[in-house]
Each structure stands twice: as C-alpha cells, then as structure tokens.
C-alpha cells in the first residue's frame, strides 16, 4: 500500500500515480510535443530532428496511435534537414 508521509499538510500538493505496460508510454507526449512545436528557428528544428531521430527505432517498433505515421514523421524530418542544410553557410557556420 501507498502511505502519505506523517508530516504532510493535507491542504497542499497532490499525489499522482500513472501506470503503463511499458516505460516508453511516457515518451509519447514528448515526441508529440517535438513533432508539433510551432516555431521553426534553427535551434528548434535541430532539437526536433535530434530528439525524434534518437528514438527512431523505438518509434517504429512501438508505434502509438497518438503519434503520426512513421512515413509522415520521416517526411517532416527530411524537410527539416533540408531547411537546416539551406541555412548553413558555405564556411560551415
């Protein structure tokens, strides 16, 4: 059983418990947030690409109904990479 600490003040705070059959479920919201983030400056685009790419194999293996189709995410990542490439100067900066 779960017990509240003895010195807790009941008028403040809360306890939330979430269960899931896999630890990967908590990543769904993070991936959706990355995917749908509306701003597209270089930092945000690169963060989206790195975050989604880091979990690419997991996203394909454990596809969640709340996530876009893998092919749609792939198209967006390719578009983001092309945008980033277009922003790079010839000297690499």
Identify which of 31, 39, 19 has the alpha carbon closest to the alpha carbon of residue 55: 31
**pLDDT, position 2:** 77
Q: Picking from 7-11, 37-41, 77-81, 83-87, which range would have the lowest pLDDT averaged per residue?
A: 7-11
- The pLDDT-based confidence of 29 (bands split at 50, 70, 90) is confident
pTM confidence score? 0.68
Question: CB neighbours of 51 closer than 8 A, spacing ≥ 6?
Answer: 30, 31, 34
User: What mean pLDDT is predicted for residues 28-56?
Assistant: 91
Domain ranges of the chain: 23-87
CA distance 58 to 7: 42
CA distance 24 to 81: 26
**pLDDT, position 68:** 85
Angle between helical axes of 27-36 and 42-54 (0-180°, round to 10): 150
């Amino acid at each position: 059983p779960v017990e509240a600490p003895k010195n807790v003040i009941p008028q403040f705070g809360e306890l939330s418990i979430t269960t899931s059959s896999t630890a990967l479920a908590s990543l769904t919201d993070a991936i959706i947030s990355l995917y749908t983030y509306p701003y597209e400056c270089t930092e945000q685009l690169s963060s989206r690409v790195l975050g989604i790419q880091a979990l690419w194999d997991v996203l394909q293996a454990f596809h969640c109904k709340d996530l876009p189709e893998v092919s749609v995410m792939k198209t967006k990542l390719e578009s983001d990479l092309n945008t980033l490439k277009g922003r790079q100067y010839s000297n690499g900066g």
